[in-house]
Structure formats: structure tokens, C-alpha cells
């Protein structure tokens, strides 16, 4: 059976030593009372909930899956899911970072994200039920009318109701401008929606008394394409003006997708047959509201893969220490046993360290983005809000695509550590691999994220946002260039920064005459930028580790193994993972012709 221990020590390192989050938050008026002890206490209790309540029902939920009653269109979640959700609601966890005006606890979003990392490690399929609700909450909080907020936000905050985002349709994929769902205005100011949506995560279940669907649809006079899309609230049960539930609405589950992974989550085909909805925001401006959900979801999906990377690593590490097989190439290490633990073998260590480096580096990036989001919404200085928004806009597609690519890679590598046992269900590793695969696909495939990064976030503003992150790298390089101990981290980071600047200019020049150059370069380009970003956080982590180890030596104290481990993992990242960028840049420079001049090959 798999195991999971919340990585609280590393979270505390990132929060309090690497990013100094409490000081950053105290600069925001709404968080002046937030301190380290509060953050640590909440996360400690959150870790207990994740590991003790929802982790034990992860494999069973995957095995059982969701069950659709085709007569009633009701879906039953796996055994234990509803009870676990009731504990989640009773513990006040849904309201953690929500607005106190609507019953929330008002804690920083970054605390919620750390909690959700642990939930994702424990049971991604279960976590998606409350996770989608946060997106619906944020969308209505930003774009709902006062009446809509008063009616829906208190119940979303408490967790009594859950939410979804109903975007795509069978013929659309990511091209939402092709959608056909119709919204007909009614004399009472409501709308009747008719159409079909697919791939709706947590779209139907028995865990909460109501589900608030946020649906994209077209008004009768809507212009074609994405500019003619509007956003609507369409509840499972209509909501009376006093907040009580009315009659069943004309929105229901027509089928469940039979999926490779996340079996415990109901990925629903949603049918609307004259369903009553209310407009959110302005007509034909629905994507403004939906982007609030979509951007939050993209950060959330990166967090999902971060959680899977961590739990896969923990289990592979435990197995490698216990499993004995063959002898070390340099001679027996466990002389009292017939074979050595497989952790003595170099390639097993490579696989373990790959997952560890991506988990800890990904955690730093995810938490950094959470702090940026707080600054965007709450910092009193307009310039700081603007700079934070630019930075977050740049890092969102990286967080989604780079962390999910890495998460699938790490889960696969950790499965490989188990050998044949990794293919067997009872060990849990094959589920981590299957669950991790979806994260590269949904909320905009990783290719879509890559096109967004290179086409819009870099070339679209002449690299202005990328230069802002580059300044962080430059500051670190200047501060540590003369520090010999930091040379093994600073030199490759500085070198990659210079090469990326040159590469970006080359791609931009080619794209001016041939837009396919962007499409040909985008996926590899995102990974190069991803390594620059992660390399920055790993260099800063090594900086702190070196300082702490030096302080211990000066005071004749025993070195802290945590900082020793951090330093060793940083060395592995810079010598074994970051060099991937050399082949990536070579592929980018190969251009689009070798891909597009291939009609004969693809005939």
C-alpha cells in the first residue's frame, strides 16, 4: 500500500526562508496580522486531513469509480468520498481563503494552495470536487452582481454547494468560439439554455446539496466566434430569492466519460434542455469572467501535478530503501543481506532525484505564483499590482505546462523504480502515472500553454514580462558572482539567461515572416524558460543552504541534514536536468520547415 507524509518542512523552507512570505503578506493591509505560527498551524492540520482522511480512499476510489443512474441522471461518488467531504466542510476547509464578507476565514491564498498541494498528493480525484468550487467562487466574486454574490457565495464559501466550469463541447476542444449552446432571453430577466457540454469535472455528484454550473453560451444576436460568448449561472437546483432550493433545473448528466485516470472524479457530459440561467457580467463578454476561473484552474492543475510528483517520490524512495536486488557495482553495501537495497544503484538515484528536484523546485514556483496573485489583488501600490500581474501572466502557462510535464515524467520514473511491481495496482504507482497524464491535457493542453507563452506573453509584448523575470535572475547573479561556493549554480543560470535572450530574438525575427516558426518552437521554448525559472529558485535555495551550513560550521554545530539534502539536490538539478536546454535550443533553431514541408511523409 502507498504512503504519504505531508512535506511540511520543505513547505516551511519555501514559505519562510526562500520567499519570506509572511513579510510579503504583512505589506498587504488585509494580512497585517498573518504570521508564521498561524500559517504553520493551519498547514499542519491540513496535512493531517489530507493524509488521514482522503489519502486512505484514493486507491479504493480509483477502483470503484463513479456510478451514473441513467434513469435519474444522478451520480454516486465512490464510497467514502461523501463522508470525507462532510468532514472537509465541518472542518471549515472550504472557507480557508474566502472573503469574510461571505463567511470566509480570510487567510491568504498561498495557504490554501499549500493545503491543496497536500490534498492533490493524497487524492487528486477527490480534491477536484472542492477545487472546482474555488474557481466558481473567484469568478462570481470578481464579476457577479451584488445579488448574485449574496445568493451564491456564502454557500460556495461554506462548501454546502460546489461549482463547475462548463466550457467545451464535443466539436470544440480548446476553440471555444465554435460552441453552439444557446441562451434564450426570458421576460423575467432569466435565460433558457439548451446545448451539450463535455469533459465537465465534478459535473454531477452526491457530495453536496447543489451544484453551481458556470456555463458559456450564445445569445440569439451574438456575433460569431469567441466575441459572441456569454457567461451564465446555471444551478442544478434553482435557487429561490431567500437562498432556499427550488425545483430541479433542466441541466443534467447525460453520461460519464470512461477515462484513463482520475476515476474517482465524475467527468460528466452535461445536457441542458431549457435550463434556467442568469447572466454573469455583460452580454458577449463571457470570456472575461471565465478567464478568472481558467487562470485559477491552470495554476491549480500545476499544483495537482506537484502533489503527484511529491507522493510518487515518497513512495519510490521508501521502496528503493527497502527492496534488495543485485549488488552495488562498487562492492556489497549491505553485507548482512543477500543483495543490496536498490537505492545504491546510480540510475535508481537518478530517477529519485529527478522527482525530488522537480517536486521541490515546483513547490517554490507554485508558492511564488500564489504570492504574486495576492499582490495583484491586494497590494496598495498600483505599480506593484501591475508588475505582479505581468509576472503572473508570464508564469501561469509555465506553472501549468512545465510542472505537469515534469509531474508525468517524475511519476513514470518513480514507477520505474518499482520495476514490475510499479505496474501492479496495489502499490499505487500506476494510478499516479494515469492520474498525472490528464494534467498535461486539460485546462488548455500544454501546447496551447506554450503558444500562449511564446506568442502572447513574450513576443506579444516584445519580451517585457520576460525581462522582468530576467531582472530577478540578474540581481541574483550580480549578488553571488564573486562567491566561489555559488559558482556551480550561478554560472549555468547566467549562461542560460544570456542564451535565452539571444534565442528569443532569433525566433521573433523568423516569426515576422513565418508564423509557423512560433508553433514549431513553442513547446521546446516553454521548457527552456521553465528551466530558467526553476533554475533561479534552485540557485536561491542553494544560496540559503550554503549560508545555513556555513553558520553551523562557524558555530561548531552539527550540520542540518535538511540543508545538506537541499544542496545535493540543487547540484543534481543543475548538472543533470538543466542541461536539457541545450538540445531544446538546438531543436528550436531547426525551424518549422522540417515539420511543415512533410506532406509526403504524412500522406
Contacts of 137 (CB under 8 A, 6+ apart): 98, 153, 156, 157, 163
Could you tell me if 473 and 574 lie in one domain?
Answer: yes
Q: Among 262, 289, 316, which residue terminates a domain?
A: 289
- Per-residue pLDDT, 286: 87
Within a domain: 603? no
Catalytic positions: 443
- Per-residue pLDDT, 529: 98
- Per-residue pLDDT, 471: 97
Within a domain: 502? yes
Burial of 562 (0-12, 13-18, 19+ CB in 10 A): middle
- Per-residue pLDDT, 303: 97
Within a domain: 583? yes
Report the domain count for the chain.
Answer: 3
96: its cell numbers: 480557508
Could you tell me if 328 and 444 lie in one domain?
Answer: yes
Q: Among 420, 455, 490, which residue terminates a domain?
A: 455
Task: Residue 125: give its domain's CATH number.
Answer: 2.40.110.20
**Spatial contact of 401 and 457, defined as CB atoms under 8 Å apart:** no
Mean pLDDT per block of 10 residues along the chain (603 residues) reads 95 98 93 93 98 98 98 97 98 96 96 98 98 91 95 97 93 82 97 97 97 96 92 97 96 97 98 98 87 82 98 98 96 95 98 98 98 94 95 97 98 98 96 98 94 96 94 98 97 98 97 96 98 98 98 94 98 98 98 97 96
**Spatial contact of 281 and 233, defined as CB atoms under 8 Å apart:** no
Task: Residue 395: give its domain's CATH number.
Answer: 1.20.140.10
Phi and psi angles of residue 232, each rounded to the nearest 5 degrees, phi first: -135, 145
- Per-residue pLDDT, 293: 73
* Residue 322: domain span: 292-455
Could you tell me if 267 and 313 lie in one domain?
Answer: no
Could you tell me if 415 and 481 lie in one domain?
Answer: no
Could you tell me if 330 and 438 lie in one domain?
Answer: yes
Contacts of 49 (CB under 8 A, 6+ apart): 87, 88, 91, 93
Could you tell me if 554 and 530 lie in one domain?
Answer: yes
Within a domain: 155? yes
Q: Among 255, 289, 323, which residue terminates a domain?
A: 289
Could you tell me if 207 and 303 lie in one domain?
Answer: no
Burial of 277 (0-12, 13-18, 19+ CB in 10 A): buried
Within a domain: 398? yes
Could you tell me if 284 and 365 lie in one domain?
Answer: no
Could you tell me if 284 and 296 lie in one domain?
Answer: no
Within a domain: 570? yes
Within a domain: 598? no
The strand ranges marked E within 16-117 are 67-69, 74-76
Could you tell me if 166 and 298 lie in one domain?
Answer: no
In the chain the first and final C-alpha atoms are separated, in Å, by: 48
- Per-residue pLDDT, 589: 98
SS3 448: helix
Q: Nearest-CA neighbor of 431 among 315, 534, 542, 285?
A: 315
- Per-residue pLDDT, 105: 96
Nearest 5 degrees, angle CA 7-CA 16-CA 295? 75
Could you tell me if 220 and 334 lie in one domain?
Answer: no
Could you tell me if 451 and 463 lie in one domain?
Answer: no
Within a domain: 317? yes
Amino acid at each position: 500500500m502507498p504512503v504519504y507524509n505531508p512535506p511540511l518542512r520543505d513547505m516551511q523552507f519555501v514559505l519562510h526562508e526562500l520567499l519570506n512570505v509572511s513579510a510579503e503578506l504583512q505589506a498587504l493591509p488585509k494580512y497585517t496580522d498573518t504570521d508564521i505560527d498561524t500559517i504553520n498551524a493551519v498547514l499542519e492540520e491540513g496535512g493531517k486531513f489530507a493524509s488521514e482522511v482522503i489519502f486512505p480512499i484514493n486507491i479504493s476510489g480509483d477502483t470503484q469509480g463513479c456510478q451514473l443512474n441513467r434513469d435519474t441522471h444522478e451520480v454516486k461518488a465512490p464510497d467514502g468520498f461523501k463522508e470525507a467531504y462532510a468532514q472537509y466542510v465541518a472542518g471549515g476547509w472550504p472557507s480557508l481563503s474566502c472573503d469574510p464578507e461571505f463567511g470566509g476565514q480570510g487567510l491568504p491564498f498561498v495557504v490554501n494552495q499549500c493545503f491543496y498541494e497536500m490534498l492533490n498528493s493524497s487524492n487528486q480525484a477527490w480534491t477536484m470536487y472542492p477545487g472546482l468550487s474555488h474557481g466558481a467562487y473567484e469568478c462570481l466574486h470578481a464579476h457577479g452582481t451584488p445579488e448574485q454574490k449574496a445568493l451564491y457565495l456564502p454557500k460556495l464559501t461554506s462548501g454546502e454547494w460546489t461549482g463547475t466550469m462548463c466550457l467545451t463541447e464535443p466539436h470544440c476542444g480548446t476553440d471555444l468560439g465554435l460552441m453552439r449552446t444557446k441562451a434564450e432571453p426570458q421576460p423575467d430577466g432569466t435565460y433558457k439554455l439548451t446545448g451539450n457540454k463535455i469533459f465537465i469535472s465534478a459535473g454531477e455528484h452526491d457530495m453536496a446539496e447543489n451544484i453551481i454550473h458556470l456555463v458559456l453560451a450564445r445569445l440569439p444576436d451574438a456575433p460569431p466566434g469567441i466575441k459572441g460568448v456569454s457567461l451564465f449561472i446555471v444551478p442544478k437546483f434553482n435557487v429561490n430569492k431567500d437562498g432556499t432550493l427550488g425545483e430541479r433545473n433542466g441541466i443534467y448528466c447525460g453520461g460519464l466519460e470512461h477515462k484513463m485516470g482520475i476515476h474517482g472524479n465524475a467527468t460528466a457530459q452535461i445536457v441542458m434542455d431549457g435550463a434556467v440561467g442568469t447572466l454573469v457580467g455583460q452580454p458577449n463578454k463571457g470570456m472575461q469572467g471565465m478567464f478568472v476561473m481558467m487562470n485559477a484552474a491552470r495554476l491549480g492543475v500545476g499544483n495537482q501535478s506537484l502533489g503527484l510528483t511529491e507522493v510518487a517520490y515518497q513512495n519510490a524512495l521508501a521502496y528503493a530503501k527497502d527492496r534488495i536486488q543485485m549488488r552495488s557495482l562498487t562492492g556489497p553495501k549491505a553485507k548482512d543481506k543477500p543483495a543490496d537495497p536498490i537505492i545504491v544503484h546510480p540510475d535508481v538515484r537518478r530517477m529519485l532525484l529527478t522527482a525530488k528536484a522537480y517536486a521541490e523546485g515546483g513547490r517554490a514556483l507554485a508558492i511564488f505564483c500564489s504570492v504574486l496573485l495576492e499582490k495583484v489583488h491586494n497590494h496598495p501600490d498600483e505599480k506593484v499590482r501591475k508588475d505582479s500581474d505581468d509576472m503572473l501572466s508570464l508564469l501561469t502557462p509555465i506553472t501549468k505546462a512545465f510542472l505537469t510535464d515534469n509531474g508525468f515524467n517524475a511519476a513514470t520514473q518513480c514507477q520505474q523504480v518499482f520495476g514490475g511491481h510499479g505496474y501492479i495496482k496495489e502499490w499505487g504507482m500506476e494510478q499516479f502515472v494515469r492520474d498525472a497524464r490528464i494534467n498535461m491535457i486539460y485546462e488548455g493542453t500544454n501546447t496551447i500553454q506554450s503558444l500562449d507563452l511564446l506568442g502572447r506573453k513574450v513576443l506579444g509584448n516584445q519580451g517585457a514580462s520576460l525581462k522582468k523575470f530576467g531582472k530577478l535572475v540578474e540581481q541574483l547573479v550580480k549578488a553571488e558572482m564573486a562567491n566561489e561556493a555559488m559558482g556551480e549554480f550561478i554560472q549555468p543560470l547566467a549562461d542560460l539567461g544570456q542564451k535565452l535572450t539571444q534565442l528569443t530574438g532569433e525566433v521573433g525575427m523568423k516569426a515576422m515572416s513565418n508564423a509557423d516558426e512560433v508553433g514549431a518552437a513553442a513547446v521546446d521554448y516553454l521548457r527552456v524558460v521553465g528551466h530558467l525559472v526553476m533554475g533561479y529558485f534552485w540557485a536561491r535555495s542553494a544560496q540559503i543552504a550554503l549560508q545555513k551550513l556555513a553558520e553551523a560550521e562557524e558555530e561548531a554545530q552539527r550540520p542540518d541534514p535538511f540543508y545538506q539534502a537541499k544542496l545535493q539536490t540543487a547540484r543534481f538539478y543543475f548538472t543533470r536536468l538543466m542541461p536539457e536546454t541545450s538540445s531544446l535550443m538546438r531543436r528550436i533553431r531547426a525551424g518549422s520547415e522540417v515539420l511543415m514541408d512533410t506532406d509526403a511523409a504524412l500522406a
